[in-house]
Amino acid sequence: KNEVEQSPQNLTAQEGEFITINCSYSVGISALHWLQQHPGGGIVSLFMLSSGKKKHGRLIATINIQEKHSSLHITASHPRDSAVYICAAIDDKIIFGKGTRLHILP
Amino acid sequence: DAGVIQSPRHEVTEMGQEVTLRCKPISGHNSLFWYRQTMMRGLELLIYFNNNVPIDDSGMPEDRFSAKMPNASFSTLKIQPSEPRDSAVYFCASRGRTTPTGELFFGEGSRLTVL
């Protein structure tokens, strides 16, 4: 079993839909990191969180430390949100999930 | 700040050749990470350095891989001899003292193709 599990692996949705991507981890962490990788390959940091919730524009990330679970939400999704979203468990090491490939249709 | 700089962006080489990938972390960052990304396995940590010292190289696939960080502003990942299964995108990332939560900043990656 992977130490960081993401679901779903692939997600296709219509523009405007509310999107939820889940991340569960089995290791101890000091923080959880959400990353975005665009089709061009570059990786961008979205959120780093260790408790509660963070919001940036249409993106919201939440974490439940007791349940070892985090979610990334996208409100009013747009085709430019199409990317691979990766969560990573941060401690001394950094362990990545396999990513969720999101495709937003116009 | 220029961000994390990697070179080359793309390399195509033949099996058996030596490959050297280079990384310049963000100035002032004290942790540097090398990752490999493939379709099958996603992102995998190869090795990371704190203050130029290798801390964990358990992700390095085998003896053909080696990494050095001679100073705070430069690191190399070397594959000798290269094999087709080494074809992947290799990312370098750095993390700084001023980001205690450990936020990573990634380079744009080096896409390696071994024929």
Write out pLDDT tens, residues B25-83: 999 898 999 999 998 888 889 999 989 999 888 889 889 999 999 999 999 999 999 99
- Strand A19-25 and strand B5-7: the pairing is unpaired
**Residue B57: what are its φ and ψ, rounded to 5°?**
-115, 25
What SS3 class is residue A57? coil
Residues of B with Cβ-Cβ distance to A35 under 8 angstroms: 104, 106
Mutate to test the interface with A, among B26, B35, B43 (most CBs of A within 10 A): B43
| Residue listed under structure tokens 């358990």 | B58
Weakest-pLDDT range from A41-45, A56-60, B74-78: A41-45
Out of A41, A86, A93, closest to residue B56 by CB: A93
Which carries the bigger pLDDT value, residue A39 or residue B47?
Answer: B47
Are residues A88 and B104, on separate chains, in Cβ contact within 8 Å? yes
Taking alpha carbons only, the member of A18, A20, A23 closest to residue A34 is A23
Please tell me the distance from the alpha carbon of residue A17 to that of residue A74, in angstroms, as a whole number. Answer: 8
* Residues B37/B43, Cβ–Cβ less than 8 Å: yes
CB B45 within 8 A of CB B53: no
Nearest CA in chain A to B102: A90
